[in-house]
Amino acid sequence: MMQGHKTNEQIVKELEEMRQQQKQLELCRRELLSVQKKYDKIIEFAPDAMVFLNREGKIVYINVQLVKMFGYDEEELVGRDLEILIPERFRATHRRNVASFFSAPGVRPMGAGMEIFGLKKDGTEIETDVSLSHLETDVGLLAIADIRDVTERRRAVRKIERSYYIQQVISSVLKISLEPIPLDEQLEHILDSILSIPGFALQAIGSIYLVEDEPEVLVLKTPRRLSRARLTACEKIPFGKCLCGQAAASGRIVFAAYLDNRHEIRHESESPHGHYCVPIVSGGKTLGLINVFVEEGRGRTAEDDEFLSEIAITLAGIIERRHAEAEKSQLRAQLHETEKIAALGRITANVAHDIRNPLTAIGGFTRRLHKKFADGTKEKEYTGLIFSEVIRLEGILRNVLSLSRRPGPIMERCNIQEIIEKALMIYGEICSEQSIIINRSFGDIPLIEGDKEQILQAIENLFSNAIDAMPGGGTLTVISSKESARGKTYVAVKIHDTGMGIREEDLSKVFEPFFTTKYALKGAGLGLSITKKIAEDHGGFVRIESRVGAGSTFSLYFPCKPEL
């Protein structure tokens, strides 16, 4: 047998071995296919979306969950850059992150604290959580991203966090409402609490308004981070004007997501923003308003409405309580003054007769003596001085009796400008002697109902005070007008002097009986008390504005009668 040739038995044996090897290979192939199918099924039916990515950032493979999550078909994504699934503002960062991952492959679990956003086919953004791993394959290293849509979960977390902050603020506001601090300070603390809620107020900008003396006018009390131009333009807002005024007039929340046509007060330099304007209402009456700037495009939510309404209700309670305390304090002061006047009345009733009769006798005898003495003598000078002092004391006694026993006003229709002119005629000569210029500014005002003599006395007292405040001359200005105050319409008489003014610490005392800022022998301090009582007896009031060195303005208010 020649070397190198195989026998039939050898050939048969080798063929049998080859058949066995082929069977093994087929078994391995089938097992590989089975494993691959199982792996594909695992990936395909995994609860999370999965994407396989190569070094170039191209999509190699995706599962069905990713198709469902982003709305694309498989053929629309495979071979495309992964950036198609990423919002444009994050794409540059994404490219750097891909290069960094492939330079040092590793594993990053979900919940690593990163905020990652995805972009669906319809343009909707979703919030995602992504875990990363890598896989060596015959086509090279692949990055595997396991993606989970956490939009609803994060929204729920934010809602819980927001509810927590809101409850904190409400608790803080309730606590502040009980603190014995000035109202302005309470408003500041409450506004700061509202603006502290994360993601609520745009750049923590906002303000609180109150309705004060002028009805249907919002007065800015507590601004936060408002521009200088807005501070000036929004210092006072009439009801019905701009968003705040509309909310105040309607008593309902007004919301704006953008700077729309309702923004009557606006500035070119202002950044885009929206508004929550929340009226502070009690008993159907608007007491003030909360104004919060929000991010442009922000949607209005029932949760925000409920929160701000609850704060507004608390503020209404605070303001009403402060008003009640102020009224109580005012009533106490009036009662105290009434008691003083009643005591004064009892005293004067007992001593008036004893004082007046001797005073009259002294005056009569002094006048007779004065006539007997020759001019230029000391006796003539002394008796003249005694007589003038008797006249002054008789005037004080009249004022005391007037204050303590004044009958109610005899009401009739009055032209207040005629009464002013009568008083000016009485004091005109004195003003001329003291180099005091008289200015008049009379508005178109209605008749009022009042006691002409008492009103004349009240105005004369104010003229006398103004003249005494300008011993070296000056200007006396008299203004009459129709004004709104304390929710009513009044005829106002303003008397302004350019005199020395009154110290701030004395302003609260000037209407007290026997208090005077005049020099000795100038008066008994009853004129302003009488003036105040006359105004109040007529249903009005008196105001004073004064600054040392800049003069004083006394304002008398008498109510208008609609039927007149």
395 pLDDT tier (thresholds 50, 70, 90): low
Give the DSSP H/E element, type plus range, for residue 18.
Answer: helix 8-44
Same fold, 46-149 and 155-318: yes
The share of the chain scoring above pLDDT 70, in percent, equals 84
- Selection from 65-69, 396-400, 437-441 with the highest mean pLDDT: 437-441
Instruction: Go through 34-54 and write b for each residue having 16 or more CB atoms within 10 A of its CB, e for each that does not.
Output: eeeeeeeeebeeeebbbbbbb
If you ran DSSP here, which 8-state letter would residue 122 be given? T
Strands 436-442 and 474-485: parallel
User: What is the model's pLDDT at position 250?
Assistant: 92
Closest alpha carbon to 160 in 129, 195, 198, 127: 198
Query: Parallel, antiparallel, or unpaired for β 274-282 and 285-294?
Result: antiparallel
pLDDT for 368 equals: 82
Distance CA 485, CA 383 (A): 51
Percent of the chain with pLDDT over 90: 11
Residue 196: both structure tokens together: 């502290």
pLDDT per residue over 423-460, tens digit each?
A: 888 788 788 888 999 998 988 889 888 888 888 888 88
Residue matched to tokens 């009154």:
502
CATH: 3.30.450.40, 3.30.450.20, 3.40.50.720, 2.60.120.620. Which one for 46-149?
3.30.450.20
Least confident stretch, 281-285, 387-391, 420-424, 489-493: 387-391
**What sign does the CA torsion over 473, 474, 479, 484 have?**
negative
| Sheet with 116-119, side-by-side order of all strands | 59-62, 49-53, 140-149, 125-137, 116-119
Q: What would the two tokens of residue 133 be?
A: 């791993």
Q: What's residue 408's pLDDT?
A: 65
Q: What is the pLDDT of residue 493?
A: 93
Question: Tokens for 235?
Answer: 């210092």
Element (H, E) at 257: none
Q: 97-124 pLDDT, tens per residue?
A: 888 888 888 887 755 667 788 899 998 8
Contact in structure between 461 and 530 (CB atoms under 8 Å): yes
Count how many residues are written for the chain: 564
Tokens coding 540? 């009005």
- Tens digits of per-residue pLDDT, 10-63? 777 777 777 787 777 777 666 655 555 555 555 556 678 888 888 888 888 888
- C-alpha 218/C-alpha 236 separation (Å) is 5
CA atoms of 358 and 394, how far apart (whole Å): 11
Per the listing, tokens 């009005």 go with 540
* pLDDT tens-digit map of 318-351: 888 888 877 787 778 777 766 766 666 666 655 6
Whole-number average pLDDT of the chain = 81
485 CB-near residues (< 8 Å, 6+ apart)? 213, 214, 492, 557
- Residue 1, pLDDT above cutoff 50: no
Most trustworthy range by pLDDT among 136-150, 244-258, 291-305: 244-258
For residue 520, the model assigns a pLDDT of 39
User: Token pair of 510, please?
Assistant: 């000037």
Predicted TM-score of the model (pTM): 0.48
Amino acid type, 513: P
H helices of 125-241, in order, are: 151-177, 183-195, 228-233
Best CA proximity match to 314, nearest among 161, 178, 184? 178
Residue 244 · residue 218 · CB < 8 Å: yes
Instruction: Give the orientation angle of helix 151-177 with respect to helix 183-195, to 10 degrees.
Output: 170
The 10s digit of each residue's pLDDT in 308-319 is 888 888 888 888
CATH assignment of 409-559? 3.30.565.10
**Which pLDDT band, with edges at 50, 70 and 90, does 406 fall under?**
low
DSSP states along 462-473: HHHHHHHT-TT-
Query: pLDDT tens digit string along 167-189?
Result: 777 787 778 777 787 888 888 88
CA–CA dist 409, 17 (Å, integer):
136
Determine the topology of domain 155-318 in CATH. Beta-Lactamase (3.30.450)
pLDDT tens string 534-561: 888 888 999 989 888 889 999 999 998 7
d(CA 67, CA 48): 11
Phi (first) and psi of residue 135, to 5 degrees: -145, 130
**Residue 476's pLDDT band (boundaries 50, 70, 90)?**
very high
Buried b / exposed e along 429-453 (16+ C-beta atoms within 10 A)? eebeeeebeeeeeeeebeebbbbbe
Q: Where is mean pLDDT largest: 301-305, 472-476, 502-506?
A: 472-476
Distance CA 449, CA 410 (A): 9
Domain definitions of the chain by residue range: 46-149, 155-318, 409-559
